[in-house]
Amino acid sequence: MSEYKADLTAISRRSLLGATSAAPLACAAPGGGRPTDSSLIGQCAQWLAAEFEADALARRWAALEILAVSGYDYFHLDDRQRRALPMAPEMSAIETKLDDLWRDQKRQFKAVAKMAPKNVHEAVSLMVVAATLDARDEGPTGPLIRLTMAFFANATCPGCGAPYVPASLPKS
């Protein structure tokens, strides 16, 4: 059993996701403008943009590999022969770009994981990053989820004072 499941005051992911999906509907974004790049929301947005770009590039690379396999017996070629294929320059450029994106994402994730949310929108931004990581593969999302859970466990709406996570919501 997870150490967090043993804590009866802990909020389950299901409860948290239910509350976070409703919270943006109840409160308007502060300032209404575009977040700065150095803000938590801006950092999350940069990470997501890199994630979406990497996903598109990986799909393009896979499509090129399928062409190489179907037309050139790709898996039976040595490295020199693979580099001579017509799609090799694009595949190589994609690999280089993906390496750069993944390095940037790692750096951005470390920065995001050090930041604590100060409002619903920042907390939800953390949840989107965590959910994206979880969807790709189970990774180091625990710190983001715990920060967000801690925020929602005690946070109240600045407009009406109601808690974002109602007491009636199951806690485990």
97 falls within a domain: yes
169 falls within a domain: no
The two counts, helices (H) then strands (E), for the chain are: 6, 0
100 falls within a domain: yes
7 falls within a domain: no
165 falls within a domain: no
Q: What is the pLDDT along the chain (172 residues), one digit of tens a residue?
A: 344 445 444 445 444 444 444 444 334 444 445 556 778 888 888 888 898 899 999 999 999 999 999 988 888 999 999 999 999 999 999 999 999 999 999 999 999 999 999 887 788 788 878 877 776 666 677 777 777 767 777 778 787 777 766 565 445 4
Could you give the number of structural domains in the chain? 1
State the CB neighbour count (10 A cutoff) for residue 87.
19
**Which residue(s) pair with 163 in the sheet?**
156
Helix (H, G, I), strand (E, B) or coil at 156: strand
Give residue 2's Cα distance to chain centre: 22
121 falls within a domain: yes
19 falls within a domain: yes
- What pLDDT score was predicted for residue 29? 44
79 falls within a domain: yes
Q: Which domain holds residue 42?
A: 13-25+37-154
User: CA dist 135 to 33, 127, 151, Å?
Assistant: 29, 12, 23
Residue 171: which residues within 8 A CB-CB, separation 6 or more? 8, 9, 10, 11, 12, 15
Sign for the pseudo-dihedral over CA of 20, 24, 26, 29: positive
- What pLDDT score was predicted for residue 40? 87
Helix (H, G, I), strand (E, B) or coil at 40: helix
- What pLDDT score was predicted for residue 20? 44
